[in-house]
Amino acid sequence: MSTPADTSLRSYKTIALERKGRLLTLTLNRPDTLNAVNREMHEELADVFDFAALDEHSEVVVLTGAGRAFSAGGDLEHMARNAANPELFDNEVRLAKRIVFALLDLDKPVVCRLNGHAVGLGATLALLCDVIFAAENAKIGDPHVAIGLVAGDGGAAIWPQRIGFGRAKEYLLTGELLTAKQAQEIGLVNHCVPAADLDGAVEAFCERLLKGSSNAIRWTKVLINLELKRVATAVMDAGIAYEAVTVRSAEHRAGVKALMEKRKPDR
C-alpha cells in the first residue's frame, strides 16, 4: 500500500521534496543527466529555497542529489543553446542571483549531503550550504574557465569566504576539481566520510540540530550570513555581467562544442 503524498509540500519537476519529522530534504532530481542544471531547474531552484524558508513544518533542511552525483553543473544542451543564442542567457541570468540570495536568506540550517561530484553551479549550491558532508568518492570544483566563462553565478563570492583568496584564485583560475579529502583538508567542505557512512553522518548531525534551540541556531546563522550577503551583494551583479560577456565569446562556443564532443577544447 503506497504512502499518500504530503500535500503541504510543493511539487517540482526537477527537485524532489521529502519531509521526515521536522527535517526537509531537497533532492536535485535529474539523475540521468547527473543532476545537471537546465532552464527548468534554474527556475525551480530560484523558488524551492523560498519555499523551504517559509515551510512551517520543518526546522532543518538537507540538500542532496539523486543517483551518483550531486550536480554536474550546467546541462550541456542547455549551455549550447545559450551559447548560440546569448539573449536566452540574458533572460535567465537573473535567476542566478535569486538562487544565491534565496539560499543566504534561508534562516534554517542547510546541510549538504554531497553524495557525488559537484561541479560549477553544483559546487556553488553545495558551498552556500551551512555544513557539508561529502562522500569520499565525490569531487568538487568550478571549471567555468575551462569553457571560457567567468565564474559569475556565485563561485567568486563563496569560494574566497571558505578557503581564502589565494586558494580560491588557484582553483577558480584553473577550474581544478578537488577530491573530497582535499576539500576537507583546506576547509572547503566540513567532513569527508566513506560513502557507506554518509547517511548516518548527515542524520546524526541533523538530529543534533533538531534537538537544539531553534531560534538561537537560526539567528546565529542569520548573524553569520550578514557578511556573506554583503559580499554577495558586492560581487554578484558584476559577476553576472562578466559571465554574460564571456557567454558571447568564441572561446565559450568552442569550449561547449568540445565538451559535447568529449574532447579538450582547442587553444
Report yes or no on 134 lying in a domain: yes
194-232 pLDDT, tens per residue? 999 999 999 999 999 999 999 999 999 999 999 999 999
Instruction: Indicate whether 1 pLDDT > 50.
Output: no
State the pLDDT at residue 261. Answer: 81
Percent of the chain's residues with pLDDT above 90: 83
Q: Which three cell numbers stand for residue 227?
A: 557578511
Domain count, the chain: 1
The CATH code of the domain that includes 237 is 3.90.226.10
Report yes or no on 99 lying in a domain: yes
Report yes or no on 27 lying in a domain: yes
State the pLDDT at residue 177. Answer: 98
Q: Classify burial at 65, counting beta carbons within 10 Å of its beta carbon; exposed 0-12, middle 13-18, buried 19 or more.
A: buried
Q: Edge-to-edge strands of the sheet including 23-28?
A: 15-20, 23-28, 60-65, 110-114, 131-135, 191-193
Average pLDDT over residues 102-121: 98
Determine contact, residues 53/108, Cβ cutoff 8 Å.
yes
81-99 pLDDT, tens per residue? 888 888 888 777 788 999 9
Residue 144: CB atoms within 10 A of its CB come to 27
State the pLDDT at residue 267. Answer: 64
CA-closest candidate to residue 38, choices 62, 87, 69, 72: 72
Report yes or no on 3 lying in a domain: no
CA-closest candidate to residue 155, choices 89, 210, 99, 88: 99
Report yes or no on 138 lying in a domain: yes
Report yes or no on 5 lying in a domain: no
pLDDT band at 75 (very low <50, low <70, confident <90, very high): confident
Determine contact, residues 65/35, Cβ cutoff 8 Å.
yes
Q: Which three cell numbers stand for residue 69?
A: 552525483
Average pLDDT over residues 54-71: 98
Report yes or no on 235 lying in a domain: yes
Residue 61 CA, distance from chain mean position: 14
Report yes or no on 133 lying in a domain: yes
Measured distance CA(265)–CA(91) in Å, rounded: 27
Domain span at 93 = 15-260
Measured distance CA(58)–CA(103) in Å, rounded: 16
Q: What is the mean pLDDT of the chain?
A: 94
